[in-house]
Amino acid sequence: MSRDRESPAIDRTLRPAVFFDRDGVLNVDTDYLFEIDKFVWIDGAIDAVKAANDAGYFVFVITNQSGVARGFYEETDVHRLHDWMARELEASGARIDAFEYCPFHPEGQIERYRLVSERRKPQPGMIVDLLSRFPVDTNRSFVVGDRPSDIEAARAAGLPGHAFPGGNLRDFILPLLASG
C-alpha cells in the first residue's frame, strides 16, 4: 500500500544506498505537498541524485505522508507526484530506484489510515523494507534528512543519518559519497 514506483530489474550485486527524505531535502517543504504545480526542487537536488547514481549508489526516497491520513490528499496524489519527480529526474539522466512513503498517522482523520505504523519515521520500517528488497551494502549507506525523525529512523535501522541544513544538496552530499 505504501510502496511507490520502483525500478523493475534489480541487479543482486551489493551496492551502497542513499536514503533521501523528500520534503525539505529534495524539494522545498510547503506542508502537505502533493500538487505538481507547487513542487520546487531544492537547489542541487537533481544533481545530488545524479551524483549518487554516478557513484554507484542506490537512491531511495523515504517520506512520511500524513496528509493522506489527515484527509488533505489521496494516495493516488502521492503516486502522481512521485511519478512526475521520476520523469523530471530521468530527463536529467538521474533516477530514484524506489519511492517509499507512509500514509499513516495515529491522529489521522481517515479511519483506515489512523494507526501507529513501523513505517512512519522515526520508526525504521521504510528503510528496513528497502533493505529487504534491494542488495544494499549497509556499511557504506546513509540517510539524508532535515528533521530529527529522519536521523532517528536511520539510527534505528543501523545506518548513519546526516541532517541536511539547507543550501545546495549536491554540495552537501558529494563529501558523503566520497567517504563511502
Going by the DSSP 8-state scheme, the letter that residue 42 receives in this structure is P
Asked if the bond preceding 165 is cis, omega within 30° of 0, the reply is no
Sheet with 98-102, strands from edge to edge, namely 3-6, 98-102, 58-64, 17-20, 142-145, 161-163
Host H or E run for residue 175: helix 169-179
Measured between alpha carbons, how far is 82 from 39 in angstroms, rounded to an integer?
Answer: 11
Active site residues: 21, 23
